[in-house]
Amino acid sequence: MVRASQLLHPALAPVQPRPAATLLLLRDAEGGLEVLMTRRSAQARFAPGVHVFPGGAIDAADGLAHAQVERRATQDDTALTQAIAALRESFEELGILLARHADGRPADADDVAALDRHQPLLPQCAERGLRLACDQAWPLAHWVTSLGSPKRFDTAFLVARMPEGQTAVADETEQFEPVWLRPAYALSRHAAGSLPMMFPTIRTLEHLQRYADTSSALAACAPHGGVEAPLWHYHPRGALRQGRESRVTDVEAAYGELMLVCPDGHLLHEIDWQHESAVPLLRNLRRLTAANPGVMTGPGTNSYLVGSAATGYVVIDPGPDDATHVARLFEAAGGDIRAIVCTHSHPDHSPGARPLQALCDPRPPILGLPSAPTARPVDHFVPDHALADGERIVLASADGGEVHTLRSVHTPGHAANHLCLVLEEDALLFSGDHILNGSTTIVSPPDGHMDDYLRSLDRLAGICREEDIRFILPAHGHVLADAPGAIARLKAHRLAREARVAAAMQALPEGSIEDWVRHAYEDTPPALWPIAARSLSAHVERLRQRVASP
């Protein structure tokens, strides 16, 4: 766990979200699937004037009505309460009633006309022998309003087919102007500024437009293995993009960084990439990204400064031999650099070490592992001191009140001399190029070795579990959260790719590396195939070794 003393912002007590439910009513039209939307009152305290799906807060009575409704065997009590609330709100706001008579007949327009939308729904249904058809509402998504928001909801998004013979009629109090829209059309109108919508509505429509018709959408929501679950879980966090408030979902690259920097939801962290100044991540941690963006480097090489003015700094991965970047590192550390560590010897990581060292007085040692004989000439690197596996670099203030300890972890695979670092007091993993955010690293023989790479992944996964490491700081891309999960997903991806390589080799036993790349990486842009061929070669080497030594 990160020490509270190193967090940038004071602790907040986030507002507890209120349970809510909303219903996407679907129908098929000539142009494809359509969803029912309505406009909220311009006087509403929450999200005035925006277009939404019907829904609202879950009432206590919704959880007490389970015996009065129809349910699926796979629908647990929480899901049933959500469905009751969503169907109730749809009736109150738009006069749509998903219910059945005792003989199985669906409720029709006459049933709707006989009910009072301003009175509790369930008692009226009981009087007419109706039961809400909660078994027809399926889980689609789960949204929780951003931490730090003054008003928060924990909302279940459900989908159901629009009942035949009924027409949406807005209550003209909370909702106005019901309209059927194709998801893609609604999104285009929003982009043009003529259909204001909230972030969750936009994201839900983006997913919904994947489905050609109502049946395919509902089929996607059906239980898998007898278990019901939303297709998407979103717990967005607030961030700044170009100085403006933005929302980042948990499938976006910057999400883990927001969890580290603003764990309580402060809307203070800028997630746009820039190369001019060091970005604070913790009190004892800053990141300065080199201005070398590209296909292989993403937004650029991340150089990290660990420490403070009281302890001095360790620079991790000084980056390329770029005088401007090196000068910015020196300035960010106030010239007080105690050590320079290179995670490996590739030219976007280590060449800046000697120029940075030359600026300092006294000169800090350059630490790392020397390049192996298998390295390319451009990757040649000899540190002042070779870090042993498990060796520690300790920064401490003069009074001993502030200590930061980095531990070396040898992780060959991406390169033979690759190592990672653990910041022990804050349980952070600096992963170099072994683990990246937004892409998988290249493993290029002979200096790169796939067996070594996978073994190193396993070792890092074990360290993260044993030491409760939750955040990974890669050399390219934003901070990653859920360290054990991120490593597990990365390994699964690597092995899945290897299975495709094996299938390509089996299908084309006389094929070349280029032939196999076309088959194993058909989901990758052809422009990247020459790069992918390097990792494919590492997989081929590993597969052949396994055949030779079963």
Q: What is the secondary structure of 190-258 as a DSSP string?
A: HHTTSS-B-HHHHHHHHHHTT-SSHHHHHHHHS-BTTB---SEEE--EEEEETTEEEEE-TTSTTHHHH
pLDDT of 494 reads: 96
Rounded to an integer, what distance in angstroms lies between the CA atom of residue 350 and that of residue 501?
A: 32
Give the CA count within 13 Å in the CB-facing half-sphere of 392: 9
Q: What is the pTM of this model?
A: 0.88
CB 479 within 8 A of CB 473: yes
pLDDT of 504 reads: 95
Q: For residue 524, count other CB atoms closer than 10 A to its CB.
A: 14
Return the domain boundaries, the chain.
Answer: 18-235, 276-482, 495-548
pLDDT of 550 reads: 60
Strand partners, 37: 179
Give 298's DSSP letter.
B
Fold designation for 18-235: Nucleoside Triphosphate Pyrophosphohydrolase (3.90.79)
pLDDT of 45 reads: 73
* Structural domain 276-482, CATH architecture: 4-Layer Sandwich (3.60)
* 362: preceding bond cis by omega (within 30 degrees): yes
pLDDT of 40 reads: 86
pLDDT of 42 reads: 79
In whole angstroms, how far apart are CA 176 and each of 39, 190, 323? Answer: 5, 18, 61
CB 433 within 8 A of CB 475: yes
Strand partners, 407: 392, 422
| pLDDT tens for each residue of the chain, 550 residues long | 899 999 999 998 888 999 999 999 999 998 899 999 999 887 777 778 899 999 999 999 999 999 999 999 999 999 999 999 999 999 999 999 999 999 999 999 999 999 999 999 999 999 999 999 999 999 999 999 988 888 899 999 999 999 999 999 988 888 889 999 999 999 999 999 999 999 899 999 999 999 999 999 999 998 888 889 999 988 999 999 999 999 898 889 999 999 999 999 999 999 999 999 999 999 999 999 999 999 999 999 999 999 999 999 999 999 999 999 999 999 999 999 999 999 999 999 999 999 999 999 999 999 999 999 999 999 999 999 999 999 999 999 999 999 999 999 999 999 999 999 999 999 999 999 999 998 899 999 999 999 999 999 999 999 999 999 999 999 999 999 999 999 999 999 999 999 999 999 999 999 999 999 999 999 999 999 999 999 999 999 999 988 777 6
Pairing of strands 302-308, 285-289: antiparallel
